[in-house]
Structure 1
Amino acid sequence: MSERVVVRDLGLVEYLPTWQTMQNFTANRVAETVDEIWLLEHQPVFTQGHHGNESHLLDTGDIPVVQVDRGGQVTYHGPGQLVVYLLLNIRRKKFGVRELVARMEASIVELLAGLGVEAYAKPDAPGVYVDEAKICSLGLRVRKGCSFHGLAFNLDMDLEPFNRINPCGYAGMAVTRLTNLADDIDREFVKGLLIEILVKRLGYIERANANSLEDIDVR
């Protein structure tokens, strides 16, 4: 089972029901449940980690704020940002949380290198950066050896809402997007490449694809 994964491309979805489905999937999965990776975009929303400090919410305006159960501080999700949720049995795969984070970061660095962009991770601030500007945020929760939440990669989104917060708890942190760094970006190509790299770096051999959450089976 640890070599199989289901990849779901869900399109543009609301945050709350997707988060609730993640929670239910994780709570109800059993030892034999196949791991899943969900690729999607969210309608505009700020999410605040469970130990988040409200002082990092500056002027959120008409964008809702959702208190969630992942680690980290506040971030923004919106159309044009590729979000990848990793619903993995990391105990079965014999990953620690730090190793999973490192593999996620390395996947984004590899993706960007393939597009001609030099990027890097920081040991003291999870995520991926280009010239000190953050292009990918990470946030995870692990329950009974299984991860959920994941990463958010800025492809061609509107970056203005990041000015309304201290991104990831850092005042004045610069944020960037792929379309600021590379020309002629094909969204579908980037999505496909990102999933291909992640699946490989996470050690999966067999992959099934889906486009909805209707057939989830946690037995």
Structure 2
Amino acid sequence: MSRARSDPDRKLRKAKGRTASSARWLERQLNDPYVKQAKADGYRSRAAYKLIELDERFGVLKRASRVVDLGIAPGGWSQVVRKLRPKAAIVGIDLLETEPIEGVTIFQMDFMADEAPAALSQALDGDPDLVLSDMAANTVGHKQTDHLRTMGLVEAAAWFAIETLAPGGAFVAKVLAGGTDADLLGLLKKHFRAVKHAKPPASRKGSSEWYVVAQDFKGRE
């Protein structure tokens, strides 16, 4: 990726009423080369480059023809899929409202709702060969609780992948520092022939996020 240069000396003008934390966040955004590049390339978020970099390393989009995007908002990952695999069928889901993306079916609903998995599968009109999950639970400020809640989403996403993927398919999900929990890692290794962890360069250095990439789904027994 051709990255725009950041300006380490750039400072924000002080704004009345802005908290110190919001000022730090805004300054980081303004000086983030991925944020600048996302605007230049027409992507809705810098997260698009995480998928691009994971694809460059693992080729997860190489044969994707039916794709599920869990936690689609604001839509950057589906934009990447549309660009790199323009003929792929894509369906996404998120609690948050997501602006329409041409060629993408979007559900605004809770992935954990009983009816969500069936809605996603029916919209694709066939088994997906790639399940993407950039979901993370809303944080409550308690590290252990936040970890458990997010990993609960990852586990639900993994089971969805196992129950719906076509043979040979792949599953990519955001996890937290330390990687995938032992039980979940064992589950993925049971059902996929290759399971690896990666932290794409687009993930901020201070971020606790990693990604698990499970490829070559063995199929359901």
TM-score (norm 1): 0.28
- Mark the structure with the bigger radius of gyration: 2
More helix by share: 2
Give the number of the structure with larger relative contact order, counting CA–CA contacts within 8 Å between residues 6 or more apart.
1
TM-score (norm 2): 0.28
More strand by share: 1
